Amino acid sequence: MRIAIFGALTGVLLSAGAMAQSSTDEDAAAAVAAPVITAEDREKGLEIWGKIHQVLAHPRCTNCHTPDDRPRWSGPNYGKPRVHGMNISAGDSRIGAETLPCSTCHGDRNTGVRHAPPGAPHWQLPPVEFAWWGKSAAEICAQVKDPDRNGGRSLGEIAKHVDHDALLHWAWTPGLGREPAPFSRDELSAFFLAWEATGAPCP
């Protein structure tokens, strides 16, 4: 009987030891995998994030990155920010398919007429998960880094998205009477890569 009890206790202890060793190994592996972010990296990263935020928080971006189906009108030419006129709703489709399609007024390019409905390929609102209208820099930063809220992308993939998406390019060529987003799309793409290299710190 004593031998059986001793054997059982020995098995439990060996199992616990193996689990503890496994946990220690996992912690060690995580420590090796985790990048070391220095104070200098963080300072540089936050400076780069500040530039990225200038673009993302600009009306050319925030007016469409809304938490509902209503695009916004805001910026120097609009006075007080407000929802899109004419009771426009993008619906769950994000292209207005349920009510009035965005393409009814928005073509695939600008018209060249001052303050006319702007145009770009595939005019639509981004998915509601990408909404950051009214959010702080810290909230937007966390969202941009979260694959569940950025389309499943790494920061490198976001840089490619900025570089290749024709609709995003409109932000820097918004048509007569509209202020373009700051910097350029090439610069924004480079900012994301440089920010990633610093560990992508958030404020």
Distance separating alpha carbons of residues 140 and 54, to the nearest angstrom: 11
pLDDT higher than 70, residue 122: yes
Q: How does pLDDT run across 43-70, given as a tens digit for each residue? A: 999 999 999 999 999 999 999 999 999 9
pLDDT at 8: 43
| Dihedral Cα 176, 179, 183, 189, nearest 10 deg | -80
pLDDT at residue 12, rounded to an integer: 40
- Which pTM was predicted? 0.81
For helices 39-56 and 137-145, give the axis angle rounded to 10 degrees: 100
Torsion of CA 74, 80, 86, 91, to 10 degrees: 50
pLDDT the model gives residue 87: 87
For residue 82, give the H/E element and its range.
strand 82-83
